[in-house]
A and B are shown apart, each in its own frame.
Chain A
Amino acid sequence: MKRRVKLTFPQYLIKEPVIFTMAKKYDVLPNIRRARVTDSVGEMILELEGEEENLDKGIKSLQEQGIDVELIEGDVLQ
Chain B
Amino acid sequence: MGYVRGLKCRECNREYPVDPIYVCEFCFGPLEVVYDYKEIKKALKRRIIERREENLWRYKEMLPIDGEPLVGLKSGFTPLVKADNLAAALGVKELYVKDDTVVHPTLSFKDRVVAVALTKAKEFGFDTVACASTGNLAHSVSAQGAKAGFKRFVFVPASLEQSKIIASLVYEPNLVAVEGNYDEVNRLCSEIANKYRWAFVNINIRPFYAEGSKTLGFEIIEQLGWEAPDNVVVPCASGSLLTKVWKAFKEFREIGLIKSLETKVFAAQATGCSPITYAIKHGSDIIKPVRPNTLAKSLAIGNPADGYYASDIVNKTGGYGEDVSDEEIIDGIRLLARTEGIFAETAGGVTVASARKLIQNGKIGRNEKTVICITGNGLKTQEALAGHMVEVHNIKPNMAAFEEIYKKIDTGQ
Q: B residues within 8 A CB of A72?
A: 23, 28
A4 at the interface (CB under 8 A from B): yes
| A4, A70, A75, A77 pick with most chain B CB within 10 angstroms | A77
Interface string of B286-326 (1 = CB under 8 A from A): 10110000000010011111110000000000000000000
Residues A73 and B288 in contact in the complex (CB < 8 Å), given A34-B11, A78-B132: no
Interface string of A6-40 (1 = CB under 8 A from B): 10100000000000000000000000011010101
Chain B binding surface SS class = loop
Residue of chain A at shortest CB distance from B299: A78
Q: What's the tally of chain B residues with a CB closer than 8 Å to chain A?
A: 41
8 Å CB contacts to A: which residues of B181-240? 182, 185-187, 189-190, 193, 200, 202-203, 206, 237-238
Residues A43 and B26 in contact in the complex (CB < 8 Å), given A34-B11, A73-B305, A78-B202: no
B76 at the interface (CB under 8 A from A): no
Residues A74 and B284 in contact in the complex (CB < 8 Å), given A8-B289, A34-B11, A34-B27: no
> Contact: A40 with B284, CB < 8 Å?
yes
Counting residue pairs across A and B whose Cβ atoms lie within 8 Å, the total is: 87
> Contact: B11 with A75, CB < 8 Å?
no
B22 at the interface (CB under 8 A from A): yes
B residues lining the A interface (CB < 8 Å): 11, 22-23, 26-29, 131-134, 136-137, 155, 157, 182, 185-187, 189-190, 193, 200, 202-203, 206, 237-238, 284-286, 288-289, 298, 301-307
8 A-B pairs with least C-beta separation:
A74-B305, A70-B303, A77-B132, A75-B301, A78-B137, A43-B286, A75-B303, A33-B28
Interface pairs (25), CB distance under 8 Å: A4-B23, A6-B303, A33-B26, A36-B286, A38-B285, A43-B286, A71-B190, A71-B303, A72-B23, A72-B28, A73-B23, A73-B190, A74-B303, A74-B304, A75-B302, A75-B305, A76-B186, A76-B200, A77-B132, A77-B155, A77-B182, A77-B185, A77-B189, A78-B131, A78-B202
